Amino acid sequence: MARRSGFVRTMVQAQRDAERRRIAQQKAQTQAAKAAIAAQKAYQRALNADKKERERLYAESRIAQVNLQNEQLEQQIKQLEQLLSNSLSSTSYIDIQTLKQPLNLPAFNPGPLAVAEPPPLPDSYKPPEPTGIQKLLPGVKEKYMQEIAKAQDLYRAHTYAHAQREAARQQALEIERRRYQQYAAEEQQKVAAQHAEIDNFQQQLNTGSPLAVVNYFTMVLDASTYPDGFPQHAKLAYVPESKQLIVEYDLPSFEIIPTAASYKYTKTKDAVTETARPVLQRKTLYSSLVAQVTLRTLYELFTADRLGHVDIIVFNGYVASVDKGTGHSMRTCLVTVRTSRDTFMHMNLSQVDPPTCLKTLNASVSKSPTELAPVRPVMELNMVDPRFIEETDVLSTLDQRPNLMDLTPSEFESLITNLFQKMGLETRQTQASRDGGVDCVAFDPRPIFGGKVVIQAKRYKSTVGVSAVRDLYGTMQNEGASKGILVTTSGYGKASYEFAEGKPLELLSGSNLLYLLAEHAGIEAKIEMPADWKDPHSDA
């Protein structure tokens, strides 16, 4: 019995041990599972944290990009608002002499050819002399003498070879030196030619050559710095008789004004939204921009004219576009103004409101520039005929065009009458004037814009005085006319233009007359003053 009890106890103990092992194993498995779960959770937390960090950094980058867009937009608007004021702090004058190219010749550098190879040294070829007991040995002296002879032969051979190499080096060096001298001479010739061209241009500019004046002021406008998107293209003409510069300048289109007022990033949608700039604000800014470009161009041209070639500037600002109805390209004049140096430079441009300043200058400005409502230019560029501007004409002896100065008074009267009839006026009364010109009363049949027109034409060599313009204005008032037109074969001074400013007076110079004859009457004429021509003095 006792033995069985021991067996039972043994079995029970074994079961207990097995149970303990099972429980321990189960417990170990539970801890591993917990550890695995904990590790998985830690990993997920890390992933989530990393995702949040990436999302935070991404959102910050988008916000930074939008901030940059807003800053650039603000800078763009600021540039457009300060087009005029930013130009007042710098000079537009160009010193022609600074256009000369300097002579930048590199130093002559032949490289290794400049280094002579040292000649062989005789002592380095000498064999060592026998010393001590060697001298007493038989044949040593004879062998030594033979070695000396060989050394001398080798020295002579090396010396000859060195001389050959040195001669070749000297020859190659001389070739390089001549090549450099030829290059230097060519560069000096190019620079000298460019300097001579600059000096010639300076001389022509000093003497008031129309072509040089136009080229100089073209350079002035080309050097002006505008924001991206501005055409910055101009055509110019110069009438030396009246010191008048006519400028046809390309303005940017309405699209230059940004449509966006600001940008905003929405994180939940991951999208950048744009706040539209009010149309009225865009239109106001564009009108200001047109006025600023006009005033800035006038300022740059007047301040660049240190030689006093220009008394009057006519500025016509055009916008290039496409007619949506026809698909054809078109150019619309949005602003036109004629002003004198004295009037314009008397203004404090740093304090003016640009559109208001243009009104003060009696400029004609489009009532709706964004809709491309046109204005009529004070003077068109193609009315300034280069044939009249140029002082010399190498083909003058072959020119078969009629010279207006050779016509009789009656022929000149018929020519002017025919011209204005072709232009749509109804001539009712003409008579010869006191000074050999034409006095003509005509009628413009157009409703609203038409009416009585007084026309006077004067064949003058010298500039027409302001008294003639005053007389025309007085005649116009006496006749009850709505407009007066004065035509001359010469030109007008700034006093005449200043008097006519703001009045219904049209002053047409000789170049304008030639253009109108060709454009409306089909007459290609010229104006060449006879050597004995004398102007009448009835206007003095």
- Distance, in Å, from the CA atom of 62 to the CA atom of 354, rounded to the nearest integer, reads 39
Q: Is 406 helix (H, G, I), strand (E, B) or coil?
A: helix
Helices 279-304 and 210-223 cross at an angle (nearest 10°) of 130
Q: Is 507 helix (H, G, I), strand (E, B) or coil?
A: strand
φ, ψ of residue 336 to 5 degrees: the values are: -145, 140
- Distance, in Å, from the CA atom of 392 to the CA atom of 238, rounded to the nearest integer, reads 15
- Distance, in Å, from the CA atom of 263 to the CA atom of 272, rounded to the nearest integer, reads 7
Contact 295, 357 (CB under 8 A): yes
Which segment, 242-251, 262-271, 371-380, is predicted with the most confidence on average?
242-251
- Lowest-confidence region among 3-17, 278-292, 312-326, 496-510: 3-17
Q: Is the pLDDT of residue 24 over 90?
A: no
Task: Write b or e for each residue in 149-164: b if 16 or more Cβ atoms lie within 10 A of its Cβ, otherwise e.
Answer: eeeeeebeeeeeeeee
With a pLDDT cut of 70, the percent of the chain lying above it is 90
- Distance, in Å, from the CA atom of 292 to the CA atom of 87, rounded to the nearest integer, reads 10
- Distance, in Å, from the CA atom of 81 to the CA atom of 76, rounded to the nearest integer, reads 9
CATH number, span 391-521: 3.40.1350.10
Q: What is the pTM of this model?
A: 0.71
Q: What is the pLDDT of residues 490-539, one digit of tens each?
A: 888 888 888 888 788 888 888 788 888 888 888 888 888 777 777 775 44
Q: What average pLDDT score do residues 193-213 get?
A: 93
491 Cβ contact list (under 8 Å, min separation 6):
239, 241, 242, 244, 463, 464, 509, 510
DSSP 214-238: HHHHHHHHHH----TT----EEEEE
For 88, 294, 415, the CA distances from 350, given in Å and listed in that order, are 7, 15, 49
Q: What amino acid is encoded at 119 in this protein?
A: P
- Lowest-confidence region among 185-194, 327-336, 376-385, 433-442: 433-442
Q: What is the pLDDT of residues 462-489, one digit of tens each?
A: 888 888 888 888 888 888 888 888 888 8
- Distance, in Å, from the CA atom of 336 to the CA atom of 294, rounded to the nearest integer, reads 9
Give domain limits for the chain: 2-81, 99-206, 208-383, 391-521
Q: Is the pLDDT of residue 305 over 70?
A: yes
Cβ atoms < 10 Å from Cβ of 463: 19
